[in-house]
Amino acid sequence: MSVDSDGTERTDYTTDGADGPGWDPGLDDEGTAVLKAIGRQLKMWREAAGLRQAEFGAAIGYSDEMVSSVERGRRAPKPQYLEKADEVLGARGKIEGMKKDVAEARYPKKVRDLARLEEDAVELGAYGNTVIHGLLQTEEYTRALISERQPAYRDDEVERIVAARLARQDVFERRPAPLLTFVQEEALLRRPVGGRMVLRRQLERLLEVGKLRHVEIQVMPTETEQHSGLGGSFQVLKLNDGTAVGHNEVQLTSRLIGNPKEVHVLEMRYGMIRAQALRSRESLAFIEKLRGET
């Protein structure tokens, strides 16, 4: 992360873990430390039970090589691994309870940082003109999107990034519920990322989320003449402490904006964009029409 001359924080990577100069989405130091600590705990539980790695692996359905990798913090144990370990070692939920810590450690730090901002937001407004916003994406859409990135990821890396993005969608379940508004370009709703059936299910997801009382989804028609969002995608988050931050993302760069003057400009632009887009009810009808054509 670097700081501009006006005090604005800037991060030189993308929030979904793709495309940055250090594009390899490997674990950061914080995530590695968590996995090593969990690995040590698992090793102590196993040794206290008097089991060798091969015996323990056979009991939970994993190879001794996998057990060794997990205990050394080199591999993140899957939820099923922890569940079986808890059962075999008689931990009574103490090992299974590590699943949340493991899940968070597996996510890239940049994703965790954005998720924390979203968790602290009382209001989020997002305009998108490249892909459907991450909080609205289906698992299939996300996977298809990440799988197309270059340089290409390994399968396990794709799954880790997909899991990180989907985990952010817990924001819809928060109580008290934040106000979430989205303006999406019509072109995004027509682009068949992953194929037509993936697109159809993505449109169905938008219709489902758009009916939530604390969510509004608007469509910006391609034929709109007045458009205040041609400078690119961005979002504005209003936080619990009364402050607001902006965020935008382009090729190779993700930028968190804290300068009050710049945030105010984004808020003003977002207000104009919402006024220029179809209203929420019209937008849902438009999406329903597209779904019927897909």
Q: Measure CA of the first residue to CA of the last residue in the chain; give whole Å.
A: 42
Residue 283 near residue 140, CB atoms below 8 Å:
no
The predicted model gives 101-111 an average pLDDT of: 64
Residue 290: pLDDT over 50:
yes
Q: Cα separation of 255 and 12, whole Å?
A: 7
Q: pLDDT tier at 269 (50, 70, 90 boundaries)?
A: very high
Tell whether 193 and 65 lie within a shared domain.
no
Q: pLDDT tier at 25 (50, 70, 90 boundaries)?
A: very low
Tell whether 259 and 208 lie within a shared domain.
yes
Tell whether 36 and 175 lie within a shared domain.
no
Residue 181: pLDDT over 80:
yes
Question: Percentage of the chain surpassing pLDDT 70?
Answer: 86
Please give the structure tokens belonging to residue 187: 């072109």
Question: Per the structure, how many domains does the chain have?
Answer: 2
148-165 per-position pLDDT tens digit: 988 898 888 888 889 888
Q: Last residue of some domain: 45, 75, 105?
A: 105
Query: What was the pLDDT predicted at 109?
Result: 56
Structural domain harbouring 74: 29-105
Tell whether 199 and 288 lie within a shared domain.
yes
- Compute how many other C-beta atoms are within 10 angstroms of the C-beta atom of residue 32: 15
Query: What was the pLDDT predicted at 8?
Result: 43
195-227 per-position pLDDT tens digit: 999 999 999 999 999 999 999 999 999 999 999
Query: What was the pLDDT predicted at 10?
Result: 39
Peptide bond into 178 cis (omega under 30): no
Q: pLDDT tier at 243 (50, 70, 90 boundaries)?
A: confident
Query: What was the pLDDT predicted at 111?
Result: 52
Residue 262's CATH number: 3.30.870
Q: pLDDT tier at 12 (50, 70, 90 boundaries)?
A: very low
The stretches of 133-195 forming alpha helices (DSSP H) are 139-147, 155-167, 186-190
**Size (the chain), residues:** 294
Question: Percentage of the chain surpassing pLDDT 90?
Answer: 62
Please give the structure tokens belonging to residue 270: 């977002």
Q: pLDDT tier at 65 (50, 70, 90 boundaries)?
A: very high
Contacts of the segment 170-173: beta carbons below 8 A, 24+ positions apart = 170/119, 171/118, 171/119, 171/121, 171/124, 171/135, 172/135, 172/209, 172/212, 172/215
